[in-house]
Chains A and B, each alone.
Chain A
């Protein structure tokens, strides 16, 4: 379940902030993301680590609703994903 929508530039851009939401059930990972997205500069990337399967669908859906950009979701070796989001505004 790795999405490959990232452009080459986005894929190499390191996250400015990583949110560890492993073990947290939805909607907590999204609440954490919404709280912390303004801590990074515009166009920076936040990586949300989450293993609740709902987060895999809900973080991209949140990006769509909030006009931020879902860059890609990378599977983690221990299970779950690193879900990369770019702050758009």
Chain B
């Protein structure tokens, strides 16, 4: 099986597996207690916090571990809005944020707040001037912008957004789920969220970083864990494994990201050459190193995925014509690109040129067959 869905989840890093097994034996006790095994669990937890903080460019006491990246976003968005209630009730986001941001924004709206959504261009990036204008409007409590888009890989102008937020005195939440550990993070954020299983850690660990001096108040019932930021008993072994994965990925990233990016360039160049009527979407240069997305005219996304799976290639799709939502992807819609026949290829660490060859070998014939079945002559 050629696994090309790293943007959904990166396979567990070998160093994370090793750390997880070791920590299950020594890190199981309650880190909030005072006896020996508890102190050991606490030490492991704080060591992991320090390591994660170092890679993300934060102070350890700014880092809280959550149960998922989604929970980190929910707490980051709603907690900052709650903490800044007096400053205003206006939330600014891009139109292509992850659903966790948009759903948190929906709660905020139902609660009487307002949401300003900044549109994107054809590549999926927000216009920095439009974002700045939205942030500078009075009563803005929080702005949210992803580091890179999860469906098409396009990098967002986070540095410009951060400058606008600094000018307006508004905190910026950056959802770094797709780039944490892979590419250096832009500076200037006030709140940062990420998800460990996307960098090769186990599932069940997210990261919420709140810069010192950022007003934040938990939207949830009071709990003592994680400096009162995240409720519930910490999953110490998984957190230890996540820190090990992040360190390993960050150490390899300079070399590995360049290598994966060259493979993505190859897919971007070869797919339109090998398959007629294909649109490769997203920014060709300002993009996450491991993500490429294209849409095939006249083809149903789910059918394409099923056929690729039969040929031993695992990919994902933003097309949801037959999915339960019955809505096309909000990202593709906002970009104004084809929403059907969509394939997202996201390369995990260690992807070989041979793996990419496999995709490029099977894809043209699969697309041709699906089109023939639909009565299309190409």
Which residues of A (44-60) have their CB < 8 Å from a CB of B?
52-54, 57-58, 60
Which residues of B (43-75) have their CB < 8 Å from a CB of A?
none
Cβ-defined contact, A27 with B340, below 8 A: yes
Binds A, one of B131-139, B196-204, B285-293, B320-328: B320-328
Q: Is B105 an interface residue (CB 8 A)?
A: no
B328 interface neighbour in A31, A34, A54, A65, Cβ under 8 Å: A54
Residue in B299, B336, B338 with the greatest tally of chain A CB atoms within 10 Å: B338
Residues on the A chain within 8 Å of B332, using CB: 57
Q: Is B116 an interface residue (CB 8 A)?
A: no
Residues on the A chain within 8 Å of B333, using CB: 53, 57
With known contacts A52-B321, A54-B328, A30–B298 Cβ distance under 8 A: yes
Cβ-defined contact, A61 with B298, below 8 A: no
Interface size on B (CB < 8 Å)?
23
Cβ-defined contact, A54 with B374, below 8 A: no
Q: Is B341 an interface residue (CB 8 A)?
A: yes
Cβ-defined contact, A65 with B340, below 8 A: no
Give the CA-CA distance A62 to B338 in the complex, in Å: 7
Interface size on A (CB < 8 Å)?
16
Give the CA-CA distance A35 to B297 in the complex, in Å: 13
A31 interface neighbour in B322, B326, B374, Cβ under 8 Å: B374
Give the CA-CA distance A88 to B375 in the complex, in Å: 23
Residues on the A chain within 8 Å of B337, using CB: 57, 61
Which residues of A (7-57) have their CB < 8 Å from a CB of B?
25-27, 30-31, 34-35, 52-54, 57
Cβ-defined contact, A58 with B338, below 8 A: yes
Residues on the B chain within 8 Å of A26, using CB: 300, 321, 328, 339-340
Residues on the B chain within 8 Å of A54, using CB: 319, 321, 328, 339-340
Which residues of B (273-313) have their CB < 8 Å from a CB of A?
277, 279, 297-300
Give the CA-CA distance A53 to B332 in the complex, in Å: 12
Cβ-defined contact, A57 with B328, below 8 A: yes
Smallest beta-carbon distance B304→chain A, Å: 11
Cβ-defined contact, B300 with A27, below 8 A: yes
Smallest beta-carbon distance B165→chain A, Å: 30
Q: Is B269 an interface residue (CB 8 A)?
A: no
Nearest B-chain residue to A28, judged by Cβ: B374
With known contacts A57-B339, A61-B338, A65-B279, A27–B328 Cβ distance under 8 A: no
Give the CA-CA distance A60 to B322 in the complex, in Å: 21
Residues on the B chain within 8 Å of A35, using CB: 375
Nearest B-chain residue to A61, judged by Cβ: B338
Residues on the B chain within 8 Å of A57, using CB: 328, 332-333, 336-339
Cβ-defined contact, B338 with A34, below 8 A: no
User: Can you name 19 extra interface pairs (CB under 8 A) apart from A54-B328, A65-B277?
Assistant: A25-B321, A26-B340, A27-B297, A27-B300, A27-B340, A30-B340, A31-B298, A31-B375, A34-B298, A54-B339, A57-B328, A57-B336, A57-B337, A58-B328, A58-B338, A58-B339, A61-B337, A61-B339, A62-B297
Residues of chain B whose beta carbon lies under 8 Å from any beta carbon of chain A: 277, 279, 297-300, 319, 321-322, 326-328, 332-333, 336-341, 374-376
Q: Which 9 A-B pairs have the closest CB atoms?
A: A54-B328, A26-B340, A27-B340, A61-B338, A54-B339, A57-B333, A25-B321, A27-B298, A26-B321
What are 29 pairs between A and B in contact, CB < 8 Å?
A25-B322, A26-B321, A27-B299, A27-B340, A27-B341, A30-B297, A31-B298, A31-B374, A31-B375, A31-B376, A34-B298, A35-B375, A53-B327, A54-B321, A54-B328, A54-B340, A57-B332, A57-B336, A57-B337, A57-B338, A57-B339, A58-B328, A58-B338, A60-B336, A61-B279, A61-B336, A61-B339, A62-B297, A65-B297
